[in-house]
Amino acid sequence: MESLDWTVVGLYFILIGFIAWWSSRKQKSTQDYFLAGRHAAWFVVGASLFASNIGSEHIVGLAGNGATSGMAMAHYELHAWIMVLLAWIFVPFYYKSGVFTMPEFLERRFDARSRWTLSIVSLIAYVFTKVSVTVYAGALVFMTLLPDTFGSPDNAFWAGAITTVILTGVYTVTGGLRAVLYTEVLQAFVLVIGSFFITFIGLDLLGGWGELKAVLGENKDQFKLWRPIAQEGIPWWKNSDFPWLGIMIASPVVGIWYWCTDQYIVQRTLAAKSLKDARRGALWGGFLKIWPVFIFLVPGLIGYALHQKGLMLIPSKAEGIDGDQVFPTMVSTLLPVGLRGLVVAGLLSALMSSLASLFNSCATLFTLDIYSKLKPNRSEKHYVGIGRLATTIVVICGLIWIPIMKAMAGGGIYKYLQQVQGYLAPPITAVFLLGLFWKKTNATGAFVGLISGFVLGILKLSIEALVSFTDVQSDLLNNIADFNFLYYSGILFLISVVIMILVSLKTQSTDSAEEHGLSYDTLTDADKREIRESWNHWDILGTVIVLGCVLGIYIYFSFWL
């Protein structure tokens, strides 16, 4: 990093600070602070969806997986088709209900037990997975790019982690969701531009797309999009090489949870100024979601090829190259002065936008789903103050968890994140899908299914941690730990669905869906008319473009090697 690089980064932070200050002047109510006053246009909503999803763990981890596992993780990046589901199926219910949070929606559809369960689990998951992993990845970039600036690489790691978390916390506490939304519009474009240059320069140095395919073709089984169900000498259920059947089972379950039911994401659509803007924002975000395959995953492939040809040296571990060092190494060795600063600003954009979204979502969940239930009938100003306090506490918890996360992450942080989410997502996906599409799902069935699914998911995660950090002699525990997380995610989803159906059939039904029109079977003619009037041929065209791009990418990369 030279003077020009630091100047670019400094100017970026000044601009972010100005946007946060401007946003802070408009916080007069909970709707202003938590949903940006519900004034966001579709362009802002879509850019915010994209930038919230693409964090530093995405850039660093996805490039790392590209270098070590090829196109296996592309399935998760092609979830643009699930954002089409968000736009057409989920958004109308969420937006028309006028809710602030996803747990609030569950309470209206079922009862307070489901709301409390989802709120608490979501808060714990945010602090100990998304916040910690995002900060870890961002700090890793500092450690690689500025190894001597703070005296040692380890000092650079902690300096980067603490500085970015605190700065992001300050502007989120100050500006609320409005600051998050409008800074994310800027961050989305900085992020795309910076990553595009990494891809372009790396591919040019390598010798073009044909040379990339030639290098990868020497070991094409490692880089395929579709992997075999079984490996030689390994039982199918122990195969950890992203088997295609496991991907097809788990990827939609995690994708629907993340894009269609997670507060962290859906909150952006709730901030739209109209149902039409909410839908189009989701479609615009789906179009943007297609590009990470090319600007984050492909650079990982390029980094591997450059390393194989001796054009760039990536740090290695016992089992091969260190995937999490691929993208930072490409930034530090390939880019010229000035452009390097722009890309670092892009990495900071990714880190800060994801953390800002997490902080604001945590504040929203705590204030509106927990605190307001314990302390009702307080002033709007009081609740906004509690939201800012909750954000501050989340910032502190994120910092405290960093050393533990640093010890646990070890290697592929992106795979680690997908694995944890694979254990948390199934019961949430099940309760939302059944709640919308089967009106007989009742409050008791939803609650029992959620609790059962979470317990089974945490049990699997705990056994994996136990086996990883201790010398367990039990064959049963070792087999449970080794059971592929993709298959387990599918089984957990099926168990959650069966429990919810059986308990709902055996217990007294609820009429909440009938009263509020919160399932498809209970929509009134007026509801259907309002939804129909919110879209036209432009929404159809956007949908066709997104789905066409996803299909084209799948077809190409299925046969490219």
Residue-level pLDDT at 96: 74
Residue-level pLDDT at 57: 67
Q: Please give the mean pLDDT across all residues of the chain.
A: 80
State yes or no: pLDDT of 276 exceeds 50: yes
What is the span of the domain harbouring residue 93?
3-17+29-406+414-523+531-558
The tally of domains found in the chain comes to: 1
| Spatial separation of the C-alpha atoms in residues 175 and 363, rounded to whole Å | 13
More confident residue, 300 or 35: 300
Identify the CATH number of the domain in which residue 466 sits.
1.20.1730.10
Enter the tokens of residue 374: 């314990």
State yes or no: pLDDT of 431 exceeds 60: yes
pLDDT tens string 483-517 = 888 999 999 999 999 999 999 999 876 555 555 66
Residue 22, domain member (yes or no): no
Residue 332, domain member (yes or no): yes
**61 Cβ neighbours under 8 A, 6+ residues apart:** 133, 137, 323, 324, 412, 413, 414, 415, 417
Q: What's the pTM value of the predicted model, to 2 decimals?
A: 0.84
Residue 24, domain member (yes or no): no
Label residue 29 by pLDDT band (50, 70, 90). Answer: very low
Label residue 239 by pLDDT band (50, 70, 90). Answer: confident
State the DSSP string of 171-212: HHHHHHHHHHHHHHHHHHHHHHHHHHHHHHHHHHHHT-HHHH
Label residue 15 by pLDDT band (50, 70, 90). Answer: confident
Kind and range of the H or E element at 317?
A: strand 316-317
Residue 235, domain member (yes or no): yes
How many other CB atoms are there within 10 angstroms of residue 389's CB atom?
15
pLDDT tens string 441-486 = 889 999 999 999 999 998 988 888 787 777 777 888 888 888 888 9
Label residue 250 by pLDDT band (50, 70, 90). Answer: very high
Residue 158, domain member (yes or no): yes
Residue 42, domain member (yes or no): yes
How many other CB atoms are there within 10 angstroms of residue 362's CB atom?
27
State yes or no: pLDDT of 75 exceeds 50: yes
Residue 315, domain member (yes or no): yes
State yes or no: pLDDT of 33 exceeds 50: no
State the DSSP string of 446-509: HHHHHHHHHHHHHHHHHHHHHHHHS----HHHHHHHHS-HHHHHHHHHHHHHHHHHHHHHHS--
Rounded average pLDDT over 309-324: 79
pLDDT tens string 370-409 = 788 788 878 777 877 787 787 777 777 767 766 655 555 5
| Spatial separation of the C-alpha atoms in residues 443 and 502, rounded to whole Å | 12
State yes or no: pLDDT of 85 exceeds 90: yes
Residue 471, domain member (yes or no): yes
